[in-house]
């Protein structure tokens, strides 16, 4: 079983026929025992959300600005 997709002409490289298996919903928990971390709520100071940073674990340059991995 397959579905024919109606795609814009800009997307010529994709095949228009797609198998039904590709259109099924992904399971909620991909890895058994996987647990999502709860992120702490921000502290609002002067109308701006702020979080307390315990430690900067890593940083790298991405699209002309730094990104930080924090704890």
Residue 67 domain-assigned (yes or no):
yes
Looking at per-residue pLDDT, the higher value among 21 and 69 belongs to 69
Residue 19 structure tokens: 């198998």
Q: Are strands 2-4 and 17-19 parallel, antiparallel or unpaired?
A: antiparallel
Residue 36 domain-assigned (yes or no):
no
Residue 13 domain-assigned (yes or no):
no
Residue 68 domain-assigned (yes or no):
yes
Domain count across the chain: 1
* pLDDT band (50, 70, 90) for residue 38: confident
Torsion of CA 13, 16, 22, 23, to 10 degrees: 130
SS3 call for 56 = strand
At 10, phi and psi to the nearest 5? -65, -25
Quote the domain boundaries for residue 66: 43-71
Predicted TM-score (pTM) of this structure: 0.37
């Amino acid at each position: 079983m397959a579905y024919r997709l109606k795609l814009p002409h800009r997307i010529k490289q994709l095949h228009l026929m797609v198998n039904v298996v590709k259109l099924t919903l992904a399971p909620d928990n991909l890895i058994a025992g996987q647990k999502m971390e709860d992120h702490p709520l921000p502290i609002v100071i002067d109308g701006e959300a702020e979080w307390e940073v315990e430690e900067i674990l890593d940083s790298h340059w991405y699209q002309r600005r730094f990104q930080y991995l924090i704890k």
